[in-house]
Amino acid sequence: MLELYINIKTLRKQLKMTQTELAEKTGYSDRSSITKIEKGEVDIPQSKIALFAKALGTTPRELMGNTGVDYFGDLSDDEKILIECYRSADVDLQNTVRRLLAYAEKFKEVQDV
């Protein structure tokens, strides 16, 4: 994840954006949060990675340092973001997502009856 924080700082500076401006665009109250993120002192919630990418004019995938071959095929941008967030989530969060999807599938089957 360290590459993510380095990329945030690098892109922000390339765009000549202040930490305060980035904080405003990503929903943080002040620049101190951005300072801590850029230093790798705090983790970014998965829900914020897409906001940072948008604010910095890139994709979540590139922001997280994954610039290799695109294995996603013809997925929409939203689907790609979901996959990227899932892949970078810890095991507990991934398990929660799988349980929610299984529950949703069962609920759909009940609705179809």
pLDDT in tens, the chain (113 residues): 578 999 999 999 999 999 999 999 999 999 999 999 999 898 888 888 989 999 999 888 888 887 555 555 677 878 878 887 887 778 888 889 889 999 888 887 777 65
Closest CA to 39 of 49, 47, 31: 31
Q: What is the pLDDT, as a whole number, of residue 108?
A: 77
89: DSSP letter? S
CB atoms within 10 A of CB 1: 11
Cα 35 to Cα 47, 60, 66, 111, distances in angstroms:
19, 20, 23, 48
DSSP output for 20-69:
HHHHHHHT-SSHHHHHHHHTTSSPPPHHHHHHHHHHTTS-HHHHTT--S-
**Domains of the chain listed by start with CATH number:** 2-112 (1.10.260.40)
Q: What is the pLDDT, as a whole number, of residue 112?
A: 67
Q: What is the pLDDT, as a whole number, of residue 85?
A: 82
